[in-house]
Amino acid sequence: MEAIITASRLAHDLTADGPPVLLDVRWQLSVPAAGGAPAFDGRAEYAAGHIPGAVFVDLDKELASAPGEHGRHPLPDLAEFGAAMRRAGVSAGRPVVVYDGGQGWAAARAWWLLRWTGHPNVSVLDGGLAAWEGPLSTGTAEPAEGDFRPVPRRTGLLDAAGAAALARSGVLLDARAGERYRGDVEPIDPVGGHIPGAVSAPTNENVGPDGRFLSADALKARFAALGASDGTRVGVYCGSGVSAAHQVLALAVAGVPAELYVGSWSEWSADPSRPVAVGPEPQ
């Protein structure tokens, strides 16, 4: 299965023998509303309507650990992650399709985690739920228990030291908006700017106006212009390892393997001893 799947192909596969497991990972980066309630509630969105058979997965609770010294969305405990995936029906021998509300960031985080922990067949629905033209369900799916057991790969994951080294020896892409990279604004983390040597590569430039990925050729040309091409060691970070997963996915579509710095800027900037660059140049 390819890294991304169209809605029409998904509709076909859901009616075929051995249909994929569907995971709904709707999530948005948001500030809690008055009273502490989340400004965006993915589970409520799921209950209001989802692709039939999809199981809701909570990014903050099942695809990440609690915020702390390793950032706002550090890696989840792998035993807990595996248990959550098995509850959702994920098995090693059955394809998985992940979607979100359309932005693609949360779906890409699930895609990356499953791929990094050994699942061989995971795709993201291109365009998310907004691209789906079939019926929606409001019932809660209750799949049979899966058998997936996460076994992390030895490659594909960067820590802070690895990200700093890669910025010097290869290509480290910063997937955040340009104003955060430059340090013009920083609405979330304690310090604005970027990891010295990192190249600005906003994630939103991976998709067109309809929210779907650019063609593989267009993505390949985009990343080549940034210095990232097959044969070059490439890493990606963002604010907390979510939108950067979307960048890793886009690179995969372009045929360029990339590593993810999960802690990202939320981990890097929390340590005042780490250097910070500002302005439009990598420095």
Residues carrying an active site annotation: 238
d(CA 87, CA 54): 12
235-261 as b/e: b if 16+ CB within 10 A: bbbbbbbbbbbbbbbbbbbbebebbbb
Pairwise CA distance, residues 232 & 235, whole Å: 10
Q: In what order do the strands lie in the sheet with 96-99?
A: 4-5, 122-125, 96-99, 21-24, 55-56
Taking the C-alpha atoms of residue 82 and residue 97, their distance in angstroms, rounded to an integer, is 17
Alpha-helix residue ranges (DSSP H) falling in 30-157: 42-48, 59-62, 78-87, 105-116
Other CB atoms within a 10 A radius of the CB of residue 153 amount to 10
